[in-house]
Amino acid sequence: MSVTTTPEATTSTSATPHEPSIPSNPASTTRSAAAARERTAVLESQIVRSPGEYRVLTGDRPTGALHLGHLLGTVANRVRLQNLGVEVFLIVADYQVITDRDDAGDLPATVHEVLLDYLAAGIDPERSTVFTHSAVPALNQLLLPFLSLVTVAELERNPTVKAEAEAALLRQKRGISGLLFTYPVHQAADILFCHGNLVPVGVDQLPHLEITRTIARRFNQRYSAAQPYFPEPDALIAPSTAVLGADGRRMSKSRGNALELRASEDETVAYFRRARTDADRMITYEPDRRPEIANLLQIGAHFAGTSPEALADEVGSAGAGQLKTVVTEAVVEGLRPLRARRRELASAGPRHLAEVLARGNARANAIADRTLDDVRALMNMRY
């Protein structure tokens, strides 16, 4: 397992001045991000040497088919970790769809599409466990004891919860749901039920993971001080920055600015043709000053197997039009095997996907049942 902090023996479970707390101001968040990046560099070298010591928990809300931002931001990294020999648990978080919306849509169809994207991208169900939230009752039962280990104030100041709550109010003109408010604790249950010790996240998700670490530490302090039961999982900072959509904003299904992995080649060409750029003809890689150009360079470099800087030098003074052409060709060629595999899987019918999910759900249930039984024993709640 990964190196984790061993909690000191104590009977206290509430936050105290001596306990690390969730960052609540920009300065502390910046320090946490810097420390997490330094730790990630160490972890990456350890993963290469001993991949079997790590268990990753990650996943997505099934709100639609996956897009290019998912692939570059998370899915490609999951496949990389899997291929290195890390044990990957991939959750299709169907319960989380209803955190901020009244209508979950056609969940079976959406889960089907997400599974197609996972498998087409290289997730191997023989090496990675793919499962759904709602199919693992024991996982969700962990939410109750975990809620007792955090305060309302800690949940209220979580920046992601704040942002999601504001978005929900704008979209539906209603208050925050209890499920959304407790989302970071539910996420802790997702990670800790399988004793995950490594979580790939973006910098903006560090406060969520800190809640998970806090819950693990406080559970150990209260119920298992002599021999800590839960690991305090490490953050593995995502290797790429957020992918922007054609409109220059962060790529998102809800914004309608995303290129789905299942899109056709013609749709891909049309998508990049309308991508935002700037008026400077010379192509340079300057993420802070030229975010739209930098975004295209990052996307093109990923699929061309080069660096954004090298791709910028290649295009040079040929301008944004040539950059779009180069990036489009790289993406079309890079996604061709994935799209072919996806069509092959889709044409085979739903039976294979159902079998993949059934095997993953069975394994997740077996692990969650053991964890919940251990938790009950540690809490002296076996009757």
Give the residue carrying structure tokens 């021999």: 227
Residues in the chain: 383
The domain limits of the chain are 26-240+349-378, 265-347
Burial of 213 (0-12, 13-18, 19+ CB in 10 A): buried
**CA 68, CA 299: separation in Å to the nearest integer?**
9
Residue 41: what pLDDT?
94
pLDDT at 168: 65
Residue 14 has pLDDT above 50, yes or no: no
Question: Topology of domain 265-347, per CATH?
Answer: Tyrosyl-Transfer RNA Synthetase (1.10.240)
Mean pLDDT taken over the chain:
89
CA-wise closest residue to 136 among 80, 199, 94 = 94
Q: Is 260 helix (H, G, I), strand (E, B) or coil?
A: strand
8 Å CB contact between 56 and 199: yes
Instruction: Determine what percent of the chain is predicted with pLDDT higher than 90.
Output: 76
Alpha-carbon gap, residue 34 to 100, rounded angstroms: 31
Local confidence band at 90 (pLDDT 50, 70, 90 cut-offs): very high
Q: So what's the pLDDT on residue 170?
A: 73
Give the residue with greater pLDDT, 247 vs 173.
247
Same topology between domain 26-240+349-378 and domain 265-347: no
Structure confidence by residue, pLDDT tens digits, 339-355 = 999 999 999 989 999 99
Domain boundaries 26-240+349-378, corresponding CATH code: 3.40.50.620
- Separation between Cα atoms, residue 17 and residue 15, nearest integer Å: 7
Neighbours of 281 (CB within 10 A): 12
- pLDDT number for residue 171: 67
Instruction: Report, as an integer, the average pLDDT of 106-119.
Output: 96
Q: Look at 132-136, 175-179, 261-265 and tell me which has the smallest mean pLDDT.
A: 175-179
The per-residue pLDDT for 174 is 67
pLDDT for residue 167: 72
User: What dihedral angle (degrees, nearest 10) is formed by the CA atoms of 256, 262, 265, 271?
Assistant: 10
More confident residue, 278 or 99: 278
Q: Which residues contact 215 (CB under 8 A, 6 or more apart)?
A: 146, 149, 150, 185, 188, 192, 230
Residues 6 or more apart whose Cβ sits within 8 Å of residue 316: 282, 283
Neighbours of 4 (CB within 10 A): 17
Residue type, 355: E
Mean pLDDT of 358-382: 97
Question: Average pLDDT, stretch 61-80?
Answer: 95
> For residues 140 and 373, is the Cβ–Cβ distance under 8 A?
no
pLDDT tens digits along 161-215: 777 767 767 766 667 788 888 999 999 999 999 999 999 998 888 888 999 999 9
- The pLDDT, as a whole number, for residue 23 is 43
- Placement of tokens 């890390």 in the chain: 86
Mean pLDDT of 124-141: 97
pLDDT-above-70 percentage for the chain: 90
pTM score of the predicted model: 0.88
pLDDT reported for residue 203: 85
pLDDT for 7: 26
Q: What's the pLDDT tens digit per position in 282-295? A: 999 999 999 999 99
User: 99: pLDDT confidence band, cut at 50, 70 and 90?
Assistant: confident
Q: What is the model's pLDDT at position 30? A: 60
DSSP 225-248: SSS--S--PEEEE-SSPPPB-TTS
